[in-house]
Amino acid sequence: MSSISELYDVTWEEMRDKLRKWREENYRNSEQIVDVGEELINEHASKLGDDIWIIYEQVMIAALDCSRDDLAWSCLQELKRQFPDSHRVKRLAGMRLEALERYEDANKLYDSILQDDPTNTAARKRKISILRAQGKSSEAIRELNEYLEQFVGDQEAWHELSELYINEHDYAKAAFCLEELMMTNPHNHLYCEQYGEVKYTQGGLENLELARKYFAQALKLNNRNMRALFGLYMSASHVAASPKVSAKVKKDNVKYAAWAASQISRAYQMAGRGKKENKCSVKAVEEMLESMQITMS
Amino acid sequence: MGEVELSCLAYAKMFLHASQHPRSSVNGLLLSSSPAGAAVCITDCVPLLHSHLSLAPVTQLALTQVDVWCSQTQQRIVGYYQANACVSDSSPTPCALKIAEKIFEQCNNAVLLMIDGEKMYPGCRVPPIVMYERKDARWTLKDKHTIMLRQWEETCSIVNQLFSSGDQTLLVDFDSHLDDITKDWTNQKLNAKIMELISPANGNV
């Protein structure tokens, strides 16, 4: 089997830089990381200098994701040897136990870290992840709420909590989490769009109007967000069709929906150009827009 | 109730969909190109979501679009499948039951299919599937003897071939279509590859 460097004609430096990019942007493309990282470690370890430790960590986590316990174990051994008393390495050992579903042992390890250092957020978050893996959603939610009371700025935690609430159909609380995220990340179109989806799901005229506004905001931040575009179309259509709205509100929403429909049409026309295979999806959208127009007028 | 037959094409795509997103719950719709009758022939499936299964907008949108596509291609929506993120729990979630109810309104022998993650390991002799049908206003477990997967061994081997050739990456679900609308959620390309692998000796699989 040929090596990555042969297959893709890349140098070891390029491989190292790719790993850094994936690390910095928090990608979870574990199979790729394992392929590239394993070769880098096996063939070019001496050239990596101090970078090698962070690469061991990155590759170890990716290896756990791919059930490569052999690789994870050897990375862990190298790290243990170099950093014998490190909490960071202990946490990695805990993650390996989690991957092996030895949750009690993992928890013991995390508890010992927390005894030494009660502010260790990584260990606390791993404990919450264990609850999630075991399907104990309400406990995970409770622990995460307690965590956020102390560490109110932790974006990752707020997002995790919003996901948990969405899974539990607790849309009001999910909305609250997304509000926190939108406040601290006002330019993130994804949070606006997710908030719109939650409001739409909650239903009722007020929520639908709110949803429409947030879908519009998401589009302002990124006019290519198709979910926001469809969301705008659907929420405006529903508001326009509601018997409770004034003539003016109805007229405005018909306008918004029509605008969204034309944008959707345009986007699909452009996508369909020259590609025979998505002919079906393009046709489906066109018919859908036509049929919804009929029910609205 | 009646018999349910699951085609190789439908099974393969469901399996691929669940494998593509091992850390999330996934869902999709089951389709039939056969006329309505006592038995249900699931001939194809459309993979839908791998995130936020319980949020309404994208689900509604997908249902509408698949409906339109079905009427254009003489197919009917006859069921719903879901694979939970938590591998040890293959029971239907409230969201699964809700969507299945909606499908039941239009199709009175609709099926609800849960994928059993624990049986998805290579070499498992049993299909990783749990099926439910609507009986006495509740979704109840279907008698295993009324579920037919023709040529099970060959279906398994076809799925393995898709993984080894790398063709499993061709699968597009509705979620990924929304991320990039040039991707085809009807999976014409992948369907063609799968049909190629299904040997002609099977006839109607």
- Partner-chain residue, chosen from B54, B179, B184, that has the shortest CB–CB distance to A169: B54
Does B109 fall in a domain?
A: yes
d(CA A58, CA A54): 6
Which tens digits make up the pLDDT trace of A77-122? Answer: 999 999 999 999 999 999 999 999 999 999 999 999 999 999 999 9
Does B204 fall in a domain?
A: no
Q: How many domains does chain B have?
A: 1
**CB atoms B57 and A227 under 8 Å:** yes
A288 touches chain B (CB under 8 A): yes
d(CA A127, CA A141): 12
Give how far Cα A71 sits from Cα of A35, A59, A95, A248, Å.
11, 8, 14, 65
B174: closest chain A residue by CA: A281
A194 touches chain B (CB under 8 A): yes
C-alpha closest to that of B13 among B130, B115, B146: B115
Contacts of A166 in chain B (CB under 8 A): 52, 54-55
- Split at pLDDT 50, 70, 90, the class of A285 is confident
B185: closest chain A residue by CA: A281
Question: B15: Cβ–Cβ under 8 A, 6 or more apart, which residues?
Answer: B115, B120, B128, B159
B88 touches chain A (CB under 8 A): yes
Angle among Cα B144, B146, B147 to the nearest 5 degrees reads 70
Which tens digits make up the pLDDT trace of A213-259? Answer: 999 999 999 999 999 999 999 999 999 999 999 999 999 999 999 99
Does B175 fall in a domain?
A: yes
At B41, phi and psi to the nearest 5? -110, 105
Q: What is the DSSP string of B173-190?
A: -HHHHHH-TTS-TT-HHH
- Partner-chain residue, chosen from A167, A271, A284, that has the shortest CB–CB distance to B54: A167
Domain that holds residue B132: 4-198
Residue A293, pLDDT > 80, answer no
**CB atoms B184 and A277 under 8 Å:** yes
Q: What is the mean pLDDT of chain A?
A: 92
CATH code of B104's domain:
3.40.140.10
> What is the pLDDT, as a whole number, of residue B205?
45
B142: closest CA of chain A, how far (Å): 25
**CB atoms B52 and A169 under 8 Å:** no
B108 touches chain A (CB under 8 A): no
**CB atoms B177 and A227 under 8 Å:** no
> What is the pLDDT, as a whole number, of residue B94?
93
Average pLDDT rounded to a whole number, residues B136-157: 88
**CB atoms B54 and A201 under 8 Å:** yes
B122: closest CA of chain A, how far (Å): 14
> What is the pLDDT, as a whole number, of residue B122?
80
d(CA A278, CA A170): 36
A198: closest CA of chain B, how far (Å): 6
* Residue of B20, B24, B52, B183 to mutate, testing the A interface (most A Cβ within 10 Å of its Cβ): B52
Output B148-152 pairs: Cβ under 8 A, ≥24 positions apart: B148/B3, B148/B4, B148/B5, B148/B6, B149/B5, B149/B6, B149/B11, B150/B5, B150/B7, B150/B8, B150/B202, B150/B205, B151/B8, B151/B202, B151/B205, B152/B127
ipTM of the complex, rounded to two decimals: 0.92
B122 touches chain A (CB under 8 A): no
Contacts of B57 in chain A (CB under 8 A): 196-197, 200-201, 211, 227, 230-231, 234-235
CA A211 to chain centre: 21
B24 touches chain A (CB under 8 A): no
- Split at pLDDT 50, 70, 90, the class of A163 is very high
A274: closest chain B residue by CA: B182
- Split at pLDDT 50, 70, 90, the class of B139 is very high
- Split at pLDDT 50, 70, 90, the class of B200 is low
- Split at pLDDT 50, 70, 90, the class of A39 is very high
> What is the pLDDT, as a whole number, of residue B177?
95
Residue A292, pLDDT > 80, answer no
Percent of chain A with pLDDT over 90: 80
Does B203 fall in a domain?
A: no
B52: closest CA of chain A, how far (Å): 7
B132: closest CA of chain A, how far (Å): 22
* Residue of B19, B50, B68 to mutate, testing the A interface (most A Cβ within 10 Å of its Cβ): B68
The reported pTM is 0.91
**CB atoms B183 and A278 under 8 Å:** yes
Is the separation of the CB atoms in A278 and B182 below 8 Å?
Answer: yes
* Residue of A30, A222, A276, A277 to mutate, testing the B interface (most B Cβ within 10 Å of its Cβ): A277
- Partner-chain residue, chosen from B52, B65, B178, that has the shortest CB–CB distance to A288: B65
B191: closest chain A residue by CA: A277
- Partner-chain residue, chosen from B58, B64, B184, that has the shortest CB–CB distance to A281: B184
d(CA A180, CA A196): 14
The DSSP symbol for A99 reads H
Does B205 fall in a domain?
A: no
Does B140 fall in a domain?
A: yes
- Partner-chain residue, chosen from B55, B56, B186, that has the shortest CB–CB distance to A281: B186
Contacts of B98 in chain A (CB under 8 A): none
Average pLDDT rounded to a whole number, residues A168-179: 97
Residue A297, pLDDT > 50, answer no
Residue B152, pLDDT > 80, answer yes
Give how far Cα B145 sits from Cα of A160, B138, B148, Å.
42, 20, 8
- Split at pLDDT 50, 70, 90, the class of B97 is very high
